[in-house]
Amino acid sequence: MPVSRRIILGVGGAVVVAGGATALWLSQNPGPAPVAPASNPAGGASLLPTGDAKLAERAIGRADAPVVVHEFFSMTCPHCAAFHKESMPQIHKNLVETGKIRMIFHDFPLDKLALTASVIARYLPADRYEPFCAALLGAQERWIYPPAGSNTAAELWKFAALAGLSRTAFDAALADQTTANALLAMQDRDAKSYQVDSTPTFIFSGKALANHKDAGAKSYDEFAKLVATAGG
């Protein structure tokens, strides 16, 4: 079952899915806090910041791949973690590296901790974004529930350092309200445009199947069948 945006964000804003040291760290270091998303009530162009490389599309696969898959995910979603650990290795090998699909990633944070992790990921060069997200998703227990003597910030810093982020950039990410607000605005836009309210959610587009939405973690076989259907 996917994790619902309505359930986690439905009571007075973001609810941190964490406990112990994590909750203490977040209470003392609130970092990016959700605000009302930027929008254009008259329609037309978004009021999102422009020209910021941190907000550019994050994707893997050939730009001209016959099938495009959009994934909406949250860094703290256990079902997103299961998909990235169990299905993505085969998807990379059999579908991405062979040029059959392009995957576009949409940050869809379900709580403040996920939002903080997404902002950090956006500070990395575009080609390191997906490996960094995969590393965090693959080791959720380590940073969501840090070991005794550590805290969430310290654990996130270990992952960021291994990905090549400087300590100065990491600290800037923790305090970056502008990027946090922009990601929330993008999430709000995606929720309205694609009717996304849970993670993970996938949208498959190809010559035979356009904008087919499917929620919940997928096995490799389920995912591959949807790709084949979209591609005709």
Q: Is 4 in contact with 75 (CB distance < 8 Å)? A: no
What domains are there in the chain, each with its CATH number? 3-32+67-231 (3.40.30.10)
Helices 152-162 and 126-138: angle between axes, nearest 10 degrees: 130
How many angstroms separate the CA atoms of 223 and 83, rounded?
Answer: 10
pLDDT in tens, 76-110: 999 999 999 999 999 999 999 999 999 999 999 99
pLDDT in tens, 139-170: 999 999 998 888 999 999 999 999 999 999 99
Share of the chain above pLDDT 90, in %: 73
HSE at residue 113, side-chain half, CA atoms within 13 A, is 30
